[in-house]
Chain A
Amino acid sequence: MASTIRVRATATGDTTEVQALIQHPMDSGYVKDAKGQLIPPHFIQQLTFEHNGKTVFLADWGPAVSKDPYVKFAFKGGAKGDDLKISWTDNKGASDSLTAKIQ
């Protein structure tokens, strides 16, 4: 199955800009479905970015992060061709990860 993680990591000089878009419902638990039942909360809690075995970014998310969440950040020390590992875990215990190359 295709990964839920889409990432674009671009190195310019010694700065790598990272944009990630993740397919996830990010249900808050406050919304009702068509039958009037509350849709239980289902959201990513932690999203981690690792480069050369070191965590370069850690996101702690709650259900107020939009559906199909997006985040952009930048870090120093990455280079074109390097691996960037992205992984997430959600409140239901599910997870996904992807390793992408810095362009």
Chain B
Amino acid sequence: MPSASLSTSRRLILQGAGLVALFGLGALPMPALAAANDKYPEDAFKQNGDADALKALYGKTAEASDKVKLDAPEIAENGAVVPIAVATTLPNVTSISFFVSENPNALAASYVIPEGTLPNISNRLKMAKTCNVIAIVESDGKLFSATKEVKVTVGGCGG
């Protein structure tokens, strides 16, 4: 019934408003974004596009930076095993993540970099098809990115 759904959504809005008010007062801790702590970022992994996944993971956007060096092949020999590495000279890196834009879920892997750990990572990812690989580096609380298109002729998701 239209009236019932209206009242439901009104209730939800009120709840949301209440929560916002509480945050404003500092009465509740901010929901810790997964990238900053040890909690598995379930929600971010469920997102489809890289923009949504980035938002769910970090809650902020990134700016391209040539200080993020992304190493990925021109043509993947096989989409099932694509060696991808990132290195950066940016300071105080706390997190590094990899997105594959055309995968069913763009977020592939996210790494927590505690103090004392170098901001260089190599891993092997699956790519469903030719698309962009995006590396995100969180440095001093800000996000920086590097993007590279990798051609995939033998897709990595099919048997």
Please give the residue numbers on chain A whose beta carbons come within 8 Å of chain B beta carbons, in ascending order: 15, 28, 30-33, 45-46, 54-67, 69-77
What residues of chain A lie closer than 8 Å to B120, measured between beta carbons?
73-74
Give the distance in Å from the alpha carbon of A76 to the alpha carbon of B117 in the complex.
Answer: 6
- Say whether, besides A32-B159, A45-B40, A59-B111, A64 and B123 are in contact (CB < 8 Å): no
Given contacts A59-B109, A66-B124, 6 further A-B contacts (CB under 8 A): A56-B117, A57-B114, A62-B109, A65-B126, A72-B122, A74-B117
B interface size (C-beta, 8 A): 36
Give the distance in Å from the alpha carbon of A56 to the alpha carbon of B117 in the complex.
Answer: 6
By the criterion CB–CB under 8 Å, are A66 and B157 in contact? no
- Say whether, besides A31-B157, A45-B40, A65 and B109 are in contact (CB < 8 Å): yes
By DSSP majority rule, is chain A's interface helix, strand, loop, or mixed?
strand
13 A-B pairs within 8 Å (CB atoms) are namely A28-B104, A30-B104, A31-B158, A55-B114, A59-B111, A60-B34, A60-B112, A64-B107, A66-B124, A70-B122, A72-B85, A73-B117, A76-B116
Please give the residue numbers on chain B whose beta carbons come within 8 Å of chain A beta carbons, in ascending order: 34, 38, 40-41, 45, 80-82, 85, 100, 103-105, 107-114, 116-118, 120-127, 156-159
Give the distance in Å from the alpha carbon of A74 to the alpha carbon of B116 in the complex.
Answer: 9
A11, chain B: closest CB distance, angstroms:
13
By the criterion CB–CB under 8 Å, are B108 and A62 in contact? yes
- Say whether, besides A57-B112, A62-B109, A65-B124, A31 and B159 are in contact (CB < 8 Å): yes
B73, chain A: closest CB distance, angstroms:
14
By the criterion CB–CB under 8 Å, are A56 and B118 in contact? no
Partner of A61, one of B38, B109, B122, B127: B109
Give the distance in Å from the alpha carbon of A17 to the alpha carbon of B68 in the complex.
Answer: 20
By the criterion CB–CB under 8 Å, are A64 and B111 in contact? no
By the criterion CB–CB under 8 Å, are A64 and B118 in contact? no
- Say whether, besides A72-B122, A74-B117, A66 and B111 are in contact (CB < 8 Å): no
Give the distance in Å from the alpha carbon of A46 to the alpha carbon of B110 in the complex.
Answer: 10
A19, chain B: closest CB distance, angstroms:
8
Partner of B108, one of A30, A56, A64, A76: A64
- Say whether, besides A31-B158, A60-B40, A60-B41, A70 and B123 are in contact (CB < 8 Å): yes
